Amino acid sequence: MSAGRRGAAVVSGRTGKPGDAEEPGRAGKPGGAEEPGRAGKPGGAEEPGGAGKPEAAGEPGGARAMPPSEIADPGLAGAGLARIGWAERSMPVLGLMRSAFEREQPFAGTAVAACLHVTAETAVLVNLLTAGGGRLHLAASNPLSTQDDIAAALAACPGVTVHARSGVDRRTYYQHIHRTLDAAPGLVIDDGCDLVNTLHAERPELLAGVRGGCESTTTGVARLRRMAAEGTLAFPVVAADASRTRRMFDNFYGTGQSVIDGILRATNTLLAGQVVVVAGYGPCGRGIAERVRGLGAQVIVTEVDPVRALAALMQGFRVLPMAQAAPLGQVFITATGSRDVIGPGHMAVMRDGAILANAGHFDVEVDVRGLAELSVAIHPDVRPHADEYLLRDGRRLILLAEGRVVNLVAAEGNPAAVMDLSFAVQALALAWLAGPSQSDEESSLEPGVHEVPAEIDTQIATLALASRGAAIDDLTPAQQEYLESWRQGS
Protein backbone atom coordinates (compact mmCIF):
# COMPACT_ATOMS: atom_id res chain seq x y z
CA MET A 1 0.00 0.00 0.00
CA SER A 2 1.30 3.43 -0.77
CA ALA A 3 1.86 6.09 1.81
CA GLY A 4 -1.10 7.92 0.39
CA ARG A 5 -3.41 5.16 1.62
CA ARG A 6 -1.97 4.84 5.06
CA GLY A 7 -4.64 4.09 7.59
CA ALA A 8 -7.04 2.46 5.20
CA ALA A 9 -7.26 -0.89 3.55
CA VAL A 10 -7.34 -1.12 -0.21
CA VAL A 11 -10.23 -3.45 -0.63
CA SER A 12 -9.58 -4.60 -4.10
CA GLY A 13 -7.40 -4.28 -7.09
CA ARG A 14 -4.86 -1.61 -7.58
CA THR A 15 -2.24 -0.87 -5.04
CA GLY A 16 0.50 1.64 -4.97
CA LYS A 17 -1.48 3.89 -7.18
CA PRO A 18 -2.56 7.00 -5.48
CA GLY A 19 -1.94 10.44 -4.62
CA ASP A 20 1.16 9.73 -2.71
CA ALA A 21 0.46 13.11 -1.28
CA GLU A 22 3.58 14.43 -2.83
CA GLU A 23 5.34 17.47 -1.56
CA PRO A 24 4.05 20.59 -3.23
CA GLY A 25 5.54 21.31 -6.53
CA ARG A 26 6.41 17.76 -7.38
CA ALA A 27 3.11 16.29 -6.63
CA GLY A 28 0.82 15.01 -9.15
CA LYS A 29 3.28 13.78 -11.53
CA PRO A 30 3.68 10.14 -11.34
CA GLY A 31 0.88 7.85 -11.80
CA GLY A 32 0.77 4.50 -10.21
CA ALA A 33 3.07 1.59 -10.26
CA GLU A 34 4.51 0.75 -13.58
CA GLU A 35 2.46 -1.85 -15.27
CA PRO A 36 4.10 -5.22 -15.30
CA GLY A 37 4.93 -6.23 -18.78
CA ARG A 38 5.20 -2.67 -19.90
CA ALA A 39 8.18 -1.59 -17.93
CA GLY A 40 11.49 -2.19 -19.52
CA LYS A 41 10.03 -2.10 -22.97
CA PRO A 42 11.23 1.31 -23.86
CA GLY A 43 10.99 2.37 -27.23
CA GLY A 44 10.64 -0.97 -28.72
CA ALA A 45 9.23 0.86 -31.68
CA GLU A 46 11.09 0.51 -34.87
CA GLU A 47 8.64 2.60 -36.80
CA PRO A 48 9.89 4.31 -39.90
CA GLY A 49 11.93 7.33 -39.13
CA GLY A 50 11.01 7.42 -35.51
CA ALA A 51 11.11 5.44 -32.37
CA GLY A 52 13.78 2.98 -31.74
CA LYS A 53 16.42 4.79 -33.70
CA PRO A 54 19.13 6.66 -31.86
CA GLU A 55 19.59 10.02 -33.49
CA ALA A 56 22.15 12.75 -33.37
CA ALA A 57 21.03 15.41 -30.98
CA GLY A 58 21.88 18.78 -29.60
CA GLU A 59 22.40 21.96 -31.54
CA PRO A 60 23.44 21.71 -35.15
CA GLY A 61 26.65 19.87 -35.39
CA GLY A 62 26.08 18.01 -32.13
CA ALA A 63 26.75 14.32 -32.45
CA ARG A 64 25.35 13.15 -29.12
CA ALA A 65 23.59 9.81 -29.50
CA MET A 66 19.97 9.99 -28.41
CA PRO A 67 18.18 7.18 -26.68
CA PRO A 68 15.27 5.75 -28.62
CA SER A 69 11.71 6.73 -27.87
CA GLU A 70 10.22 5.10 -24.78
CA ILE A 71 6.59 4.38 -25.42
CA ALA A 72 4.11 1.73 -24.39
CA ASP A 73 3.20 0.14 -27.68
CA PRO A 74 4.30 1.17 -31.18
CA GLY A 75 1.42 -0.85 -32.57
CA LEU A 76 -0.95 1.90 -31.42
CA ALA A 77 0.48 4.40 -33.91
CA GLY A 78 -2.33 3.95 -36.45
CA ALA A 79 -5.03 4.69 -33.90
CA GLY A 80 -3.04 7.68 -32.68
CA LEU A 81 -2.63 9.07 -36.20
CA ALA A 82 -6.38 8.90 -36.77
CA ARG A 83 -7.04 10.86 -33.57
CA ILE A 84 -4.40 13.45 -34.43
CA GLY A 85 -6.10 13.93 -37.80
CA TRP A 86 -9.42 14.49 -36.05
CA ALA A 87 -7.89 17.09 -33.69
CA GLU A 88 -6.19 18.84 -36.61
CA ARG A 89 -9.56 19.59 -38.17
CA SER A 90 -10.43 21.71 -35.15
CA MET A 91 -7.07 23.47 -35.06
CA PRO A 92 -7.16 25.84 -38.04
CA VAL A 93 -4.83 28.45 -36.56
CA LEU A 94 -1.94 26.02 -36.28
CA GLY A 95 -2.83 24.86 -39.80
CA LEU A 96 -2.64 28.44 -41.10
CA MET A 97 0.76 28.90 -39.43
CA ARG A 98 2.23 25.76 -40.93
CA SER A 99 3.16 27.02 -44.40
CA ALA A 100 4.98 30.03 -42.93
CA PHE A 101 6.91 27.74 -40.59
CA GLU A 102 7.78 25.38 -43.43
CA ARG A 103 9.03 28.31 -45.49
CA GLU A 104 10.88 30.20 -42.78
CA GLN A 105 12.28 27.28 -40.74
CA PRO A 106 12.46 29.27 -37.48
CA PHE A 107 13.79 26.29 -35.52
CA ALA A 108 16.16 24.88 -38.16
CA GLY A 109 18.25 22.19 -36.47
CA THR A 110 17.29 23.27 -32.95
CA ALA A 111 16.65 20.62 -30.32
CA VAL A 112 13.45 21.46 -28.45
CA ALA A 113 12.76 19.68 -25.14
CA ALA A 114 9.06 19.63 -24.31
CA CYS A 115 7.20 18.45 -21.22
CA LEU A 116 3.53 18.54 -22.16
CA HIS A 117 0.40 16.45 -21.81
CA VAL A 118 0.74 13.80 -24.50
CA THR A 119 -2.56 14.34 -26.26
CA ALA A 120 -3.70 14.62 -29.87
CA GLU A 121 -3.63 18.41 -29.66
CA THR A 122 -0.04 18.39 -28.41
CA ALA A 123 0.83 16.18 -31.36
CA VAL A 124 -0.47 18.85 -33.73
CA LEU A 125 1.82 21.39 -32.03
CA VAL A 126 4.79 19.01 -32.18
CA ASN A 127 4.22 18.45 -35.88
CA LEU A 128 4.07 22.21 -36.48
CA LEU A 129 7.37 22.73 -34.66
CA THR A 130 9.08 19.96 -36.62
CA ALA A 131 7.67 21.47 -39.85
CA GLY A 132 9.51 24.61 -38.71
CA GLY A 133 12.79 22.67 -38.56
CA GLY A 134 12.81 21.75 -34.85
CA ARG A 135 13.83 18.38 -33.49
CA LEU A 136 11.37 17.57 -30.75
CA HIS A 137 12.06 15.57 -27.61
CA LEU A 138 8.80 15.09 -25.76
CA ALA A 139 8.12 13.88 -22.22
CA ALA A 140 4.74 13.76 -20.52
CA SER A 141 3.80 16.46 -18.03
CA ASN A 142 1.49 14.00 -16.28
CA PRO A 143 1.70 10.24 -16.86
CA LEU A 144 -1.99 9.82 -16.13
CA SER A 145 -2.92 12.05 -19.02
CA THR A 146 -0.57 10.33 -21.46
CA GLN A 147 -2.41 8.83 -24.40
CA ASP A 148 -0.31 5.87 -25.48
CA ASP A 149 -1.67 5.82 -29.01
CA ILE A 150 -0.63 9.44 -29.50
CA ALA A 151 2.81 8.73 -28.05
CA ALA A 152 3.16 5.87 -30.54
CA ALA A 153 2.05 7.99 -33.49
CA LEU A 154 4.46 10.79 -32.59
CA ALA A 155 7.34 8.39 -32.05
CA ALA A 156 6.88 7.32 -35.66
CA CYS A 157 7.25 10.89 -36.95
CA PRO A 158 10.62 12.01 -38.29
CA GLY A 159 12.36 14.50 -36.03
CA VAL A 160 10.50 13.45 -32.88
CA THR A 161 11.48 11.30 -29.91
CA VAL A 162 8.90 10.54 -27.25
CA HIS A 163 9.54 9.48 -23.67
CA ALA A 164 6.08 8.87 -22.30
CA ARG A 165 3.99 5.94 -21.17
CA SER A 166 0.75 6.27 -19.30
CA GLY A 167 0.78 5.52 -15.59
CA VAL A 168 4.53 5.45 -14.97
CA ASP A 169 5.85 6.12 -11.48
CA ARG A 170 7.61 9.26 -10.34
CA ARG A 171 11.11 7.90 -10.94
CA THR A 172 10.30 7.04 -14.55
CA TYR A 173 8.52 10.36 -14.98
CA TYR A 174 11.71 12.22 -14.11
CA GLN A 175 13.85 9.80 -16.13
CA HIS A 176 11.75 10.71 -19.13
CA ILE A 177 12.35 14.39 -18.50
CA HIS A 178 16.10 13.70 -18.33
CA ARG A 179 15.96 11.88 -21.65
CA THR A 180 14.56 15.02 -23.32
CA LEU A 181 17.36 17.05 -21.72
CA ASP A 182 19.95 14.63 -23.10
CA ALA A 183 19.25 16.38 -26.41
CA ALA A 184 21.00 19.49 -25.06
CA PRO A 185 17.99 21.62 -25.97
CA GLY A 186 18.24 25.09 -27.41
CA LEU A 187 14.59 25.75 -26.54
CA VAL A 188 12.23 24.28 -23.95
CA ILE A 189 8.45 24.08 -23.56
CA ASP A 190 7.10 23.23 -20.14
CA ASP A 191 3.74 22.66 -18.49
CA GLY A 192 4.08 22.97 -14.73
CA CYS A 193 7.83 23.85 -14.61
CA ASP A 194 9.16 20.36 -13.84
CA LEU A 195 11.37 20.32 -16.92
CA VAL A 196 12.84 23.78 -16.24
CA ASN A 197 13.22 22.90 -12.57
CA THR A 198 15.05 19.64 -13.36
CA LEU A 199 17.26 21.44 -15.87
CA HIS A 200 18.36 23.99 -13.27
CA ALA A 201 18.64 21.61 -10.31
CA GLU A 202 20.20 18.56 -11.96
CA ARG A 203 21.57 19.48 -15.40
CA PRO A 204 23.10 22.96 -14.92
CA GLU A 205 25.81 22.20 -17.48
CA LEU A 206 23.11 22.47 -20.17
CA LEU A 207 21.81 25.89 -19.15
CA ALA A 208 24.24 27.89 -21.25
CA GLY A 209 22.88 26.29 -24.42
CA VAL A 210 19.24 27.16 -23.73
CA ARG A 211 18.09 30.24 -25.54
CA GLY A 212 14.69 30.39 -23.91
CA GLY A 213 11.43 28.64 -23.22
CA CYS A 214 7.69 28.79 -22.84
CA GLU A 215 5.53 27.81 -19.86
CA SER A 216 1.97 26.69 -20.39
CA THR A 217 0.13 26.85 -17.09
CA THR A 218 -0.60 29.21 -14.20
CA THR A 219 1.09 27.06 -11.59
CA GLY A 220 4.23 26.71 -13.71
CA VAL A 221 4.43 30.46 -14.24
CA ALA A 222 4.09 31.01 -10.48
CA ARG A 223 7.03 28.65 -9.87
CA LEU A 224 9.10 30.39 -12.56
CA ARG A 225 8.40 33.78 -11.02
CA ARG A 226 9.71 32.46 -7.69
CA MET A 227 12.87 31.20 -9.46
CA ALA A 228 13.31 34.58 -11.16
CA ALA A 229 12.82 36.44 -7.85
CA GLU A 230 15.58 34.31 -6.31
CA GLY A 231 17.80 35.04 -9.30
CA THR A 232 18.07 31.36 -10.25
CA LEU A 233 16.24 31.37 -13.59
CA ALA A 234 19.05 31.26 -16.15
CA PHE A 235 17.21 32.07 -19.39
CA PRO A 236 14.13 33.96 -20.58
CA VAL A 237 10.81 32.15 -20.37
CA VAL A 238 7.67 33.42 -22.00
CA ALA A 239 4.61 33.05 -19.77
CA ALA A 240 2.27 31.69 -22.44
CA ASP A 241 -0.32 31.17 -19.73
CA ALA A 242 -0.50 34.87 -19.00
CA SER A 243 -1.38 35.76 -22.61
CA ARG A 244 -4.86 37.10 -23.19
CA THR A 245 -5.47 34.39 -25.75
CA ARG A 246 -4.73 31.68 -23.24
CA ARG A 247 -6.46 33.02 -20.14
CA MET A 248 -9.59 34.28 -21.90
CA PHE A 249 -10.20 31.15 -23.90
CA ASP A 250 -8.26 28.12 -22.70
CA ASN A 251 -8.73 28.47 -18.95
CA PHE A 252 -12.27 29.82 -19.11
CA TYR A 253 -13.90 27.98 -22.02
CA GLY A 254 -11.58 25.00 -22.36
CA THR A 255 -11.09 24.04 -18.73
CA GLY A 256 -14.62 25.15 -17.88
CA GLN A 257 -16.06 22.62 -20.31
CA SER A 258 -13.56 19.76 -20.04
CA VAL A 259 -13.62 19.62 -16.24
CA ILE A 260 -17.35 19.03 -16.41
CA ASP A 261 -16.70 16.44 -19.12
CA GLY A 262 -14.25 14.61 -16.82
CA ILE A 263 -16.64 14.64 -13.87
CA LEU A 264 -19.54 13.39 -15.97
CA ARG A 265 -17.52 10.62 -17.61
CA ALA A 266 -16.26 9.46 -14.21
CA THR A 267 -19.61 9.61 -12.40
CA ASN A 268 -22.49 10.08 -14.85
CA THR A 269 -24.01 12.24 -12.13
CA LEU A 270 -26.87 14.65 -12.90
CA LEU A 271 -25.62 18.10 -11.99
CA ALA A 272 -29.05 19.76 -12.19
CA GLY A 273 -30.27 20.54 -8.70
CA GLN A 274 -27.00 19.62 -7.00
CA VAL A 275 -24.94 21.92 -4.81
CA VAL A 276 -21.53 22.30 -6.46
CA VAL A 277 -18.68 24.00 -4.61
CA VAL A 278 -15.99 25.58 -6.80
CA ALA A 279 -12.79 26.51 -4.97
CA GLY A 280 -10.93 29.35 -6.67
CA TYR A 281 -12.46 31.98 -8.93
CA GLY A 282 -9.61 32.52 -11.37
CA PRO A 283 -10.25 32.03 -15.10
CA CYS A 284 -10.53 28.25 -14.60
CA GLY A 285 -12.85 28.46 -11.59
CA ARG A 286 -15.02 31.07 -13.36
CA GLY A 287 -15.35 28.87 -16.42
CA ILE A 288 -16.28 25.86 -14.31
CA ALA A 289 -18.76 27.80 -12.15
CA GLU A 290 -20.56 29.27 -15.17
CA ARG A 291 -20.90 25.95 -16.92
CA VAL A 292 -22.02 24.07 -13.84
CA ARG A 293 -24.66 26.74 -13.27
CA GLY A 294 -25.72 26.34 -16.89
CA LEU A 295 -26.39 22.68 -16.15
CA GLY A 296 -28.75 23.61 -13.35
CA ALA A 297 -26.51 23.31 -10.29
CA GLN A 298 -26.53 25.70 -7.35
CA VAL A 299 -22.97 26.99 -7.17
CA ILE A 300 -21.00 28.03 -4.11
CA VAL A 301 -17.61 29.69 -4.68
CA THR A 302 -14.79 29.71 -2.13
CA GLU A 303 -11.91 32.19 -2.44
CA VAL A 304 -9.05 33.76 -0.50
CA ASP A 305 -8.86 36.91 -2.67
CA PRO A 306 -11.55 39.46 -1.70
CA VAL A 307 -11.67 41.01 -5.20
CA ARG A 308 -12.21 37.66 -6.90
CA ALA A 309 -14.73 36.69 -4.21
CA LEU A 310 -16.62 39.94 -4.84
CA ALA A 311 -16.61 39.22 -8.58
CA ALA A 312 -18.14 35.81 -7.87
CA LEU A 313 -20.78 37.36 -5.64
CA MET A 314 -21.66 39.99 -8.29
CA GLN A 315 -21.94 37.21 -10.83
CA GLY A 316 -24.68 35.72 -8.69
CA PHE A 317 -22.79 32.91 -6.95
CA ARG A 318 -22.97 32.23 -3.26
CA VAL A 319 -19.59 32.86 -1.59
CA LEU A 320 -18.63 30.98 1.56
CA PRO A 321 -15.50 29.78 3.35
CA MET A 322 -14.81 26.11 2.62
CA ALA A 323 -15.60 25.19 6.24
CA GLN A 324 -19.17 26.41 5.72
CA ALA A 325 -19.49 25.06 2.19
CA ALA A 326 -18.23 21.59 3.12
CA PRO A 327 -21.45 20.28 4.73
CA LEU A 328 -23.58 21.75 1.89
CA GLY A 329 -21.81 20.57 -1.24
CA GLN A 330 -22.50 17.41 -3.22
CA VAL A 331 -19.74 18.00 -5.75
CA PHE A 332 -16.48 19.83 -4.96
CA ILE A 333 -14.12 21.11 -7.64
CA THR A 334 -10.79 22.74 -6.78
CA ALA A 335 -9.08 25.15 -9.22
CA THR A 336 -6.75 27.22 -7.06
CA GLY A 337 -3.11 26.23 -7.70
CA SER A 338 -2.76 25.93 -3.92
CA ARG A 339 -2.57 22.98 -1.53
CA ASP A 340 -4.89 21.38 1.04
CA VAL A 341 -7.85 23.42 -0.12
CA ILE A 342 -10.02 20.49 0.93
CA GLY A 343 -8.63 18.85 4.06
CA PRO A 344 -9.73 16.28 6.63
CA GLY A 345 -11.63 18.91 8.65
CA HIS A 346 -13.81 19.58 5.61
CA MET A 347 -14.16 15.91 4.71
CA ALA A 348 -15.28 15.14 8.25
CA VAL A 349 -18.48 17.16 7.71
CA MET A 350 -19.25 16.37 4.07
CA ARG A 351 -22.40 14.64 2.94
CA ASP A 352 -22.46 10.95 2.20
CA GLY A 353 -21.59 10.40 -1.45
CA ALA A 354 -19.91 13.77 -1.97
CA ILE A 355 -17.71 13.85 -5.07
CA LEU A 356 -14.25 15.46 -4.93
CA ALA A 357 -12.53 16.57 -8.13
CA ASN A 358 -9.48 18.69 -8.82
CA ALA A 359 -8.84 20.90 -11.84
CA GLY A 360 -5.65 22.55 -10.55
CA HIS A 361 -2.33 21.59 -12.02
CA PHE A 362 -0.93 19.50 -9.15
CA ASP A 363 -2.69 16.90 -7.03
CA VAL A 364 -2.21 18.76 -3.77
CA GLU A 365 -5.51 20.64 -3.70
CA VAL A 366 -7.45 17.76 -2.16
CA ASP A 367 -5.54 16.26 0.76
CA VAL A 368 -5.62 12.67 -0.48
CA ARG A 369 -3.42 11.36 2.30
CA GLY A 370 -5.72 13.00 4.87
CA LEU A 371 -8.70 11.38 3.16
CA ALA A 372 -7.03 7.98 3.33
CA GLU A 373 -6.32 8.44 7.02
CA LEU A 374 -10.00 9.18 7.68
CA SER A 375 -11.01 6.03 5.83
CA VAL A 376 -11.43 2.43 6.91
CA ALA A 377 -11.53 1.11 3.36
CA ILE A 378 -10.91 2.29 -0.16
CA HIS A 379 -12.69 0.82 -3.15
CA PRO A 380 -10.64 1.75 -6.17
CA ASP A 381 -12.37 2.30 -9.48
CA VAL A 382 -15.96 1.85 -8.44
CA ARG A 383 -16.20 3.39 -11.87
CA PRO A 384 -13.21 4.26 -14.04
CA HIS A 385 -11.37 7.13 -12.35
CA ALA A 386 -13.70 7.15 -9.33
CA ASP A 387 -12.38 5.76 -6.01
CA GLU A 388 -14.77 5.36 -3.09
CA TYR A 389 -13.40 6.12 0.39
CA LEU A 390 -15.40 4.55 3.19
CA LEU A 391 -15.13 6.69 6.34
CA ARG A 392 -15.33 5.36 9.89
CA ASP A 393 -18.87 6.64 10.37
CA GLY A 394 -20.08 4.85 7.24
CA ARG A 395 -20.14 7.85 4.92
CA ARG A 396 -18.54 7.44 1.51
CA LEU A 397 -16.59 10.12 -0.33
CA ILE A 398 -15.80 9.71 -4.00
CA LEU A 399 -12.40 10.93 -5.18
CA LEU A 400 -12.02 11.40 -8.91
CA ALA A 401 -8.79 10.84 -10.84
CA GLU A 402 -6.86 10.32 -7.58
CA GLY A 403 -7.02 14.07 -7.01
CA ARG A 404 -5.18 14.80 -10.24
CA VAL A 405 -6.37 17.09 -13.05
CA VAL A 406 -9.76 15.58 -13.67
CA ASN A 407 -10.23 16.90 -17.20
CA LEU A 408 -7.01 15.31 -18.39
CA VAL A 409 -7.23 12.05 -16.49
CA ALA A 410 -10.95 11.25 -16.76
CA ALA A 411 -11.58 13.07 -20.05
CA GLU A 412 -9.33 14.18 -22.90
CA GLY A 413 -8.19 17.59 -21.70
CA ASN A 414 -9.29 20.80 -23.28
CA PRO A 415 -10.97 20.59 -26.67
CA ALA A 416 -8.79 20.96 -29.75
CA ALA A 417 -10.41 24.21 -30.85
CA VAL A 418 -9.21 25.98 -27.72
CA MET A 419 -5.82 24.26 -27.62
CA ASP A 420 -5.39 25.62 -31.15
CA LEU A 421 -5.20 29.12 -29.67
CA SER A 422 -3.01 28.17 -26.70
CA PHE A 423 -0.54 26.23 -28.78
CA ALA A 424 -0.42 29.02 -31.35
CA VAL A 425 0.81 31.24 -28.51
CA GLN A 426 3.51 28.70 -27.66
CA ALA A 427 4.61 28.23 -31.27
CA LEU A 428 4.83 31.95 -32.03
CA ALA A 429 6.52 32.71 -28.72
CA LEU A 430 9.11 30.00 -29.42
CA ALA A 431 9.66 31.32 -32.94
CA TRP A 432 10.17 34.76 -31.43
CA LEU A 433 12.73 33.37 -28.97
CA ALA A 434 14.48 31.55 -31.81
CA GLY A 435 14.40 34.58 -34.09
CA PRO A 436 17.05 37.13 -35.02
CA SER A 437 16.01 39.67 -32.36
CA GLN A 438 17.04 37.17 -29.68
CA SER A 439 20.50 36.53 -31.10
CA ASP A 440 21.28 40.23 -30.95
CA GLU A 441 22.76 41.10 -27.55
CA GLU A 442 21.15 44.54 -27.55
CA SER A 443 17.59 43.39 -28.06
CA SER A 444 17.63 39.89 -26.58
CA LEU A 445 15.55 39.18 -23.51
CA GLU A 446 17.12 39.00 -20.07
CA PRO A 447 16.74 35.80 -18.05
CA GLY A 448 13.39 35.95 -16.28
CA VAL A 449 9.67 35.60 -16.95
CA HIS A 450 8.39 37.62 -19.89
CA GLU A 451 4.93 38.45 -21.14
CA VAL A 452 3.71 37.32 -24.53
CA PRO A 453 4.08 40.28 -26.92
CA ALA A 454 0.68 41.84 -27.64
CA GLU A 455 1.23 41.38 -31.38
CA ILE A 456 1.23 37.61 -30.92
CA ASP A 457 -2.21 37.70 -29.28
CA THR A 458 -3.47 39.97 -32.05
CA GLN A 459 -2.02 37.76 -34.78
CA ILE A 460 -3.62 34.64 -33.32
CA ALA A 461 -7.02 36.23 -32.81
CA THR A 462 -6.91 37.54 -36.39
CA LEU A 463 -6.14 34.08 -37.75
CA ALA A 464 -8.79 32.49 -35.53
CA LEU A 465 -11.43 34.97 -36.72
CA ALA A 466 -10.46 34.41 -40.34
CA SER A 467 -10.66 30.65 -39.91
CA ARG A 468 -14.23 31.07 -38.62
CA GLY A 469 -15.24 33.40 -41.43
CA ALA A 470 -15.60 36.37 -39.04
CA ALA A 471 -14.32 39.87 -39.70
CA ILE A 472 -14.05 43.06 -37.66
CA ASP A 473 -13.96 46.79 -38.35
CA ASP A 474 -10.82 48.89 -38.74
CA LEU A 475 -10.46 52.20 -36.93
CA THR A 476 -10.90 55.17 -39.24
CA PRO A 477 -8.06 57.74 -39.14
CA ALA A 478 -10.38 60.12 -37.24
CA GLN A 479 -11.18 57.46 -34.68
CA GLN A 480 -7.50 56.63 -34.31
CA GLU A 481 -6.65 60.26 -33.77
CA TYR A 482 -9.50 60.71 -31.29
CA LEU A 483 -8.41 57.70 -29.23
CA GLU A 484 -4.79 58.80 -29.14
CA SER A 485 -5.46 62.42 -28.23
CA TRP A 486 -6.03 63.86 -24.77
CA ARG A 487 -7.16 67.23 -26.17
CA GLN A 488 -10.50 66.09 -27.54
CA GLY A 489 -13.23 65.89 -24.92
CA SER A 490 -16.97 66.39 -25.23
Kindly state whether residue 122 participates in binding ligand NAI, applying the rule CB under 6 A.
no
Cite the DSSP H helix spans in 296-411. Answer: 306-314, 322-325, 344-347, 368-374, 406-409
- Strand segments, DSSP code E, in 191-290 are 212-215, 236-239, 275-279
Kindly state whether residue 219 participates in binding ligand NAI, applying the rule CB under 6 A.
yes
Per CB under 6 A, contacts with ligand NAI among 299-328 are 302-305, 308
Kindly state whether residue 202 participates in binding ligand NAI, applying the rule CB under 6 A.
no
- Within 8 A by CB and 6+ apart from 309, the residues are 281, 301, 303, 319
- The span of 66-74, 264-272, 297-305, 311-319 binding ligand NAI (CB under 6 A) equals 297-305
Kindly state whether residue 345 participates in binding ligand NAI, applying the rule CB under 6 A.
no
Kindly state whether residue 178 participates in binding ligand NAI, applying the rule CB under 6 A.
no
Residue closest to ligand NAI when measured from CB atoms: 282
- Strand segments, DSSP code E, in 141-235 are 160-163, 187-190, 212-215
Nearer Cβ to ligand NAI (127/257): 257
Nearer Cβ to ligand NAI (206/342): 342
N- to C-terminal Cα distance for the chain? Answer: 73
Kindly state whether residue 213 participates in binding ligand NAI, applying the rule CB under 6 A.
no
Kindly state whether residue 280 participates in binding ligand NAI, applying the rule CB under 6 A.
yes
Kindly state whether residue 106 participates in binding ligand NAI, applying the rule CB under 6 A.
no
Helix (H, G, I), strand (E, B) or coil at 462: helix
Which of 144, 168, 279, 424: binder of ligand NAI (CB under 6 A)?
279
- Count the residues of the shown chain that bind ligand NAI, applying the rule CB under 6 A: 28
Per CB under 6 A, contacts with ligand NAI among 368-427 are 405, 407, 414
Rounded Cα gap, residues 490 and 475, in angstroms = 20
DSSP 39-108: TT-TT----TTSTT---EESSTT--EEPPPPB-S-GGGHHHHHHHHHHHHHT-HHHHHHHHHHHHH-TTT
CB of 38 to ligand NAI, least distance (A): 26
Q: Which residues pair with 375 in a beta bridge?
A: 391
Contact 43, 49 (CB under 8 A): no
CB of 362 to ligand NAI, least distance (A): 7
Kindly state whether residue 335 participates in binding ligand NAI, applying the rule CB under 6 A.
yes
Q: Pairing between strand 318-319 and 298-302?
A: parallel
Binding site for ligand NAI (CB under 6 A): 217-219, 251, 255, 279-285, 302-305, 308, 335-338, 341, 359-361, 405, 407, 414
